[in-house]
Structure 1
C-alpha cells in the first residue's frame, strides 16, 4: 500500500498540525509561523 501526498494536500496537513501545536504550546506560534512561511517560500521557488 502506497500513500502519496501532493502539494495540494500538504498545506492543510501542515495547517492542522500548526493549529494543534499552537493550542498546546502558544509560545510556539512564532516558530510555527516562521517555519510555515519558509516552507511555502521554498515550495514556491522549487516549482518556479
Structure 2
C-alpha cells in the first residue's frame, strides 16, 4: 500500500492548529509557513513525498 502525502497540506494543518492553540504566535507561524511553501515551490516537492 502506497501512501502519498504532500508536505503543503501537512504544513497548513500544523500551522492552523498552532494558531488555534497559541494565537500570539500568528505572525511567526504565517511567516514560517510562507517560507516553507516558497522553498517547496522553488525546489519542488518531489523529494518530500512520504
**Structure 2-normalised TM-score?**
0.67
Of residues 2, 7, 12 in structure 2, which corresponds to 1:10?
7
2:32 paired with 1:28: no
Q: CA RMSD in A?
A: 1.9
Higher relative contact order (CA 8 A, sep 6+): 2
Alignment deviations for residues 5-38 of structure 1 (CA, whole Å, 9 cap, x no partner): 65xx211111111111111100111111100111
Unaligned 5+ runs, structure 2: 45-50
2:26 paired with 1:38: no
